[in-house]
Structure 1
């Protein structure tokens, strides 16, 4: 966007700087150009609550549905305000859990208010993912008990639309334990009284379809959804999701239409009826560029159109905490303009689309870290007003935005579509570990990232997208480690359940194992105990014991884990520290490297550690080993989907900043967990290097008694010429080799290490920008004499 165009948008003198020119704070009560932020109200005041869902009623009242959390129970509430700027009334209980999630409101032509949601009426056990979709009429008066719309299995994420005859249309995600790797979109119609008219029909045809959206237009009922279309891992930077569209007219479903042929992620559709046309919004990684921005498309008489003009936000080289525009919520204004609300990685923002193009970003959230939401909900409220339900940093809020008259309706141009180039499958041939000292015979060398975040905590991207990326890139195993809480906001029970369910869905894919896990998010040391990831050998517990959910320190966390076979792994300790207080029976590993650098020792080279947070006390691997702690090494990206991890990472692609290598007999959840538990691991900074070390017959991660001298054999395999290989004993380098080739194998005798306990590990690095590193887990020896 040129500076002249920017001035036309804002009607004020533009600010300077690259990102600042198109990322503009909009404070409560403030007006910038055509947009005024009129009213901001807390929803479910005094309660922990999710994103509110508003609806504008024909008589001028405003209804808001919201899910509140009370003692690990989800309670679905409804609040009514007499006017768009009036205070919300006392809450009415719609459903009292223990699971009630993803509410959607719709108003009929007669002014009746209906609500749909998914949940269950009893507490689920671990691994029980069954859910129902429910429907209930709320106004003009609550009409009896809720109606169960769906059948057996997991039915969730409903959307609801009502046609001019008052018929209700519902769509949702449908999953069955009998087909654990498949998710489809289901649909059902009910009449104006809520009576079913026909059974449940599966409308989509993919293997993994999610996030349905409905709209009623003059041409019928439209249903959109997104689906993962990769047939197999292809090595691409992003998984391949497409958005699909299908119309129900005359009781018959039409052909499935593909909305876009771009590679990468096209997901999270939202629909608007526009007379005979249909407007579709979704977010896109724009052909594998990691950070996603919303796109608009118009379907009219069998052709696709796009708005005239480019989104100025896509032209900026983003490096800050707020990046991207996901989960768009478009609203059509009376004069044909569009207002689009989207979620940045750490907040909410709006843009206007009119005859001049697409406006700058108007930021609704103050700068700083912390978000826990996905889609926000925006609805028109008459005369250019828009009601927006979103999550603030600490409290859900209902906003009223006023849009002044502008430059006329959106101008559309035909969309140029090119045939998608489908990459070939890149099936991994696992190498045997026989040539790596210290790993025994018969095992396979496997790689995976077990430290990744999604939009369910403080990151970008849906949780399934994160797992799909690991699978697409050819990793053998993975884990989602979303925060138990972030900035005072905990995971809700349905979010905890969704993470578990998705882990099992992707674990069902051949050749791919997914661990159950989460991040226990303590305060930095010394005020707290640092951050730790927790992983389970089998199904995750029915509820977490997080920092704000009963486990406030390391001792309480370890006590809670006693009934489970679990692992605890401290991470980014150079930044937030660790207390070294966890029981070694569960804290058997240490995360050496991530987007936060390397936590091996202060001043580590060639990859440095991240500087300590304010008022924190850093900790390093060698410090823990010197205390006599026994642990192996792993790597994990700790990626949050932000380019350069908001300036902290050494790579633009944050998913390439940490990786765990291990040796296991097969690619299964149990085998991967057993290898981690046994410390049969090595850590890399992201590339697939491999290394092994053996000392007096003992392998990596093992402990044993022996006598001196210590005979060491090792091998390192790089992906580029190695620059250096070192053997470390008790924090000191006792062997150093300059290499210049991709592989190095050798042996070495440490003749007089001395009596007592010692540890040995290998570290190596190779050239490149940035360089890559690898560390084997230590071998622990108790030397008794000659």
Structure 2
């Protein structure tokens, strides 16, 4: 049977060879071609053990993708042991059953690649493959794809990321990138001509921190653009022009507040337009400026309304008008808009804003491109409605309302504006769509959706084709993937036969929030540059910059057929409950601030496809939940030096003084018996990553003693600017050890009483052992204030509430250290005192009674206020109103020492816990 299949396949390939256009190798000698062999295209379970060999050519490299842990590839013998299908175990890498082998080879039209497998054998002539139209073999069970080529730009010891590319007047490629030097703890901005033999990287700037890199060839001169914290720690925009003596830099903005998320485009008249997002007025606004000749205009506002506007993209049409696409949160969710800019002398006029997408869905990350036919294209990624709203863990419907966590789904959208009319393609984009509303976030291997389409970008190649490039992740909701949480870059274009099957850029695996840089000459394929790195490799996580081209397309280009699109009116924003509440005690004044001290991103390997990226986390905090502060706490098991650098950098870039305070933090995951995991918070930037035994175990290294008493606490005390908080407490009865075996009141003043991902740890229950509860810790004599945190996945249901003197890192740390905190599952106001003592404090009480003063501002009617002394409910008040101001007198207080706290319940299920007040009598 296998022989029959092989003969049939060979006959098919001979016909393809006769009908296919001639390869470039016919005229210029051997060509370098990369192909991707896909096993299990029929999505069935099967054994595909096999090998490959070539005749009439030379194999340069063999690699694999989407292999499970049990699969093996031997690149030296060009053989493999592979099974397709989705494992029913929990620890699988991919939610899709296919497995892939990549082969880079030099070939001529006579070259044949022979593949032998347990499911059948087949032969392929690589030069006859058509990019975007994969060859189907073995009755559709296997496929072979023609890909573009790539190479590493520079071999370095640094983490190289955030690329840009431009072609010079001779068509040579110049690739720029940002390199992070672990030893020096600094960024460096490099550029290299990759088409000039022997050329070495050249330094553009010696700024300590760089982001938002762009590179343009303007009138034959290379121009670089970026944002940097500069010497005054204020993020501003910079440019540099390449001259004979090197790069001449210029600072373009100086206003106080972060200027970032930069986009730059050049007009055919030599003008240069730039748009960016600025936090200079306490919120996100879109600004722009234009350069004509050598003179830049002043900064001017493109979009300014009370909401945050985000991440602009700019393009220039054939008439010299600039178009800026961006997204806004003004309607209580992210919507996409487009605005035109026209320059006349030193004046710029801003056109009327055009709505591109304004549904209840998440619609963000716009990318725009004006084409020669007068259309302005806008692409963006989208997700379901109520992004970042009330979601706990599992079902997406809470109290009848649907909500998605930060990265439960992503799809691409493409629209255009033509003659003032909004249009959309009549033929759907080549993507696998998620359900309109995901019923359950189930982390089973077969859970859907299995694909995420992130950050689509538009570009035109030298032949005028419009390309759509994007990132795909196929890991799904699987648990703790050792390999699968990676995004790869794909591209598609429209031809006379419709959309091409997306073409993968080889060796493009990386994070969700990485872009691909593109450049085009006067003819030929699109040139690309990108960074790749295996995020979850066990040891080596280094990022490297690669460059390459998309493969030649043989099908004739065609205009994308479109149809008019009429948008529904925008939704109405649902404002968050505002608690603007000040209390006084003596000469001190305190205000309540709401935040989260435990939020993960896709840096952590627990739920990397569901938690979203660093930008998603800060967007969520600023808009969806309106936090005053946020600590991104990714696991130290997964936080390498580059990830920690990016996390700290993001905390500075998103800091809005007086509005929003990111806190430098990570989660120190610990495998020590009962040691538990602890989030660590730093007042100042630059702390090292405190490695726990979890990090050593993941690398199969000898595990050190890592109990907090011996390691974490002394280090934090020595620093003097750091605090920690335990979460998800546990207890091992056999070892007689638990989370509350350890505590240092100097550096561990608070603990998570509630976690949105899981449950309340206040009291023992069927899942929480008594020794793991917060009440047990209090019985041990520990003085711990209460906070609530999200951890992974959960959104909008956990608040660390802090009474602080002002909204600064210093004041927040002082308040947390003093335990002036409470925990809540909604934005509830709560002030509990005993005499002059505030929540979290100690007091001496004389007399026959202890009196609690309680002031609460609920988001719904408060049904119960439980008064708790030493773990026992003394009484329950039932006010039935959102606003409560009352007192409670304990008529028979205990002698000696006791602690009191209040548990508040609302009729909508929300809860708040006041931190204890410790009383001595």
Q: TM-score range by the shorter chain?
A: 0.5 to 0.7
The worse-fitting range, judged by mean Cα deviation, of 668-677 and 285-294 is 285-294
User: Residues 709 and 749 of structure 1 are in contact (CA less than 8 Å); yes or no, is this contact kept in structure 2?
Assistant: no
- CA distance in structure 1 between the aligned counterparts of 2:178 and 2:503, rounded to whole angstroms: 33
Q: Secondary structure at the match of 2:815?
A: helix
State yes or no: 1:482 paired with 2:633.
yes
Give, in angstroms, the shift of residue 730 of structure 1.
1.9
State yes or no: 1:341 paired with 2:471.
yes
Within 5 A, what are the aligned runs for 1:717-732?
717=856, 718-732=858-872
- CA distance in structure 1 between the aligned counterparts of 2:323 and 2:518, rounded to whole angstroms: 27
User: Residues 867 and 875 of structure 2 are in contact (CA less than 8 Å); yes or no, is this contact kept in structure 1?
Assistant: yes
Q: What's the counterpart of residue 436 of structure 2?
A: 316
State yes or no: 1:520 paired with 2:640.
no
- CA distance in structure 2 between the aligned counterparts of 1:363 and 1:87, rounded to whole angstroms: 10
Q: What's the counterpart of residue 567 of structure 1?
A: 723
The worse-fitting range, judged by mean Cα deviation, of 509-518 and 671-680 is 509-518
- CA distance in structure 1 between the aligned counterparts of 2:166 and 2:283, rounded to whole angstroms: 40
Question: 1:623-665: CA deviations, max 9, x gaps?
Answer: 221222210001223354xxxx4xxxxxxxx1x1111222222
Q: What's the counterpart of residue 94 of structure 2?
A: none
Sort the Cα spacing of 1:189 and 1:213 in 2 relative to 1 into closer, same or farther, 3 A.
same
Q: What's the counterpart of residue 674 of structure 1?
A: 814
Q: Secondary structure at the match of 1:442?
A: strand
Question: 1:425-458: CA deviations, max 9, x gaps?
Answer: 9996732224xxx999632233222322334443
Which among 268, 283, 288 is matched to residue 381 of structure 2?
283
Which among 392, 403, 412 is matched to residue 294 of structure 1?
412
State yes or no: 1:626 paired with 2:801.
no
Within 5 A, what are the aligned runs for 1:725-744?
725-744=865-884
Sort the Cα spacing of 1:401 and 1:394 in 2 relative to 1 into closer, same or farther, 3 A.
farther
State yes or no: 1:491 paired with 2:644.
no
User: Residues 823 and 913 of structure 2 are in contact (CA less than 8 Å); yes or no, is this contact kept in structure 1?
Assistant: yes
User: Residues 354 and 408 of structure 1 are in contact (CA less than 8 Å); yes or no, is this contact kept in structure 2?
Assistant: yes
Which among 149, 152, 155 is matched to residue 204 of structure 2?
149
Q: Secondary structure at the match of 1:774?
A: strand
User: Residues 187 and 203 of structure 1 are in contact (CA less than 8 Å); yes or no, is this contact kept in structure 2?
Assistant: no
State yes or no: 1:638 paired with 2:824.
no
Q: Secondary structure at the match of 1:533?
A: strand
User: Residues 633 and 775 of structure 1 are in contact (CA less than 8 Å); yes or no, is this contact kept in structure 2?
Assistant: yes
Task: State the aligned residue count.
Answer: 670
Sort the Cα spacing of 1:269 and 1:158 in 2 relative to 1 into closer, same or farther, 3 A.
farther
- CA distance in structure 2 between the aligned counterparts of 1:272 and 1:453, rounded to whole angstroms: 34
State yes or no: 1:578 paired with 2:729.
no
State yes or no: 1:544 paired with 2:693.
no
- CA distance in structure 2 between the aligned counterparts of 1:676 and 1:632, rounded to whole angstroms: 8
Give, in angstroms, the shift of residue 201 of structure 1.
6.8
- CA distance in structure 2 between the aligned counterparts of 1:542 and 1:586, rounded to whole angstroms: 15
State yes or no: 1:781 paired with 2:919.
yes
Q: Secondary structure at the match of 1:467?
A: helix
Question: 1:551-584: CA deviations, max 9, x gaps?
Answer: 9542322232222322111123379983542422
Q: What's the counterpart of residue 20 of structure 1?
A: none
State yes or no: 1:118 paired with 2:266.
no
Q: What's the counterpart of residue 244 of structure 1?
A: 313
Q: Secondary structure at the match of 2:778?
A: helix
Sort the Cα spacing of 1:208 and 1:256 in 2 relative to 1 into closer, same or farther, 3 A.
farther
The worse-fitting range, judged by mean Cα deviation, of 698-707 and 514-523 is 698-707
Q: What's the counterpart of residue 833 of structure 2?
A: 693
State yes or no: 1:450 paired with 2:597.
yes
User: Residues 169 and 187 of structure 1 are in contact (CA less than 8 Å); yes or no, is this contact kept in structure 2?
Assistant: yes
Sort the Cα spacing of 1:582 and 1:359 in 2 relative to 1 into closer, same or farther, 3 A.
farther
Sort the Cα spacing of 1:100 and 1:589 in 2 relative to 1 into closer, same or farther, 3 A.
same
Normalising by the residue count of structure 1, what TM-score does the alignment of the two structures yield? 0.68
Normalising by the residue count of structure 2, what TM-score does the alignment of the two structures yield? 0.59
State yes or no: 1:594 paired with 2:755.
yes
Sort the Cα spacing of 1:123 and 1:84 in 2 relative to 1 into closer, same or farther, 3 A.
farther
Give, in angstroms, the shift of residue 358 of structure 1.
8.5
Sort the Cα spacing of 1:138 and 1:659 in 2 relative to 1 into closer, same or farther, 3 A.
same
Q: Secondary structure at the match of 1:447?
A: strand
User: Residues 119 and 156 of structure 1 are in contact (CA less than 8 Å); yes or no, is this contact kept in structure 2?
Assistant: no
Which among 500, 517, 525 is matched to residue 648 of structure 2?
500
Give, in angstroms, the shift of residue 242 of structure 1.
5.0
Q: CA RMSD in A?
A: 5.6
Question: 1:389-433: CA deviations, max 9, x gaps?
Answer: 755562379999999999986434456579989989999673222
Q: What's the counterpart of residue 433 of structure 1?
A: 583
Give, in angstroms, the shift of residue 735 of structure 1.
1.5
Q: What's the counterpart of residue 3 of structure 1?
A: none
Unaligned runs of 5+ in 1: 1-25, 46-55, 62-82, 365-369, 646-653
Sort the Cα spacing of 1:134 and 1:693 in 2 relative to 1 into closer, same or farther, 3 A.
same
Q: Secondary structure at the match of 1:541?
A: coil
- CA distance in structure 1 between the aligned counterparts of 2:426 and 2:705, rounded to whole angstroms: 53
Give, in angstroms, the shift of residue 726 of structure 1.
0.8
Sort the Cα spacing of 1:441 and 1:216 in 2 relative to 1 into closer, same or farther, 3 A.
closer
Q: What's the counterpart of residue 171 of structure 1?
A: 225
The worse-fitting range, judged by mean Cα deviation, of 309-318 and 384-393 is 384-393
Question: 1:14-60: CA deviations, max 9, x gaps?
Answer: xxxxxxxxxxxx99534369xxx9975489x9xxxxxxxxxx99999
Q: Secondary structure at the match of 1:433?
A: strand
Give, in angstroms, the shift of residue 675 of structure 1.
0.8
Give, in angstroms, the shift of residue 274 of structure 1.
6.7
Sort the Cα spacing of 1:287 and 1:762 in 2 relative to 1 into closer, same or farther, 3 A.
closer
Sort the Cα spacing of 1:282 and 1:219 in 2 relative to 1 into closer, same or farther, 3 A.
farther
State yes or no: 1:470 paired with 2:588.
no
Give, in angstroms, the shift of residue 478 of structure 1.
0.8
Question: 1:287-310: CA deviations, max 9, x gaps?
Answer: 864555433345778987543356
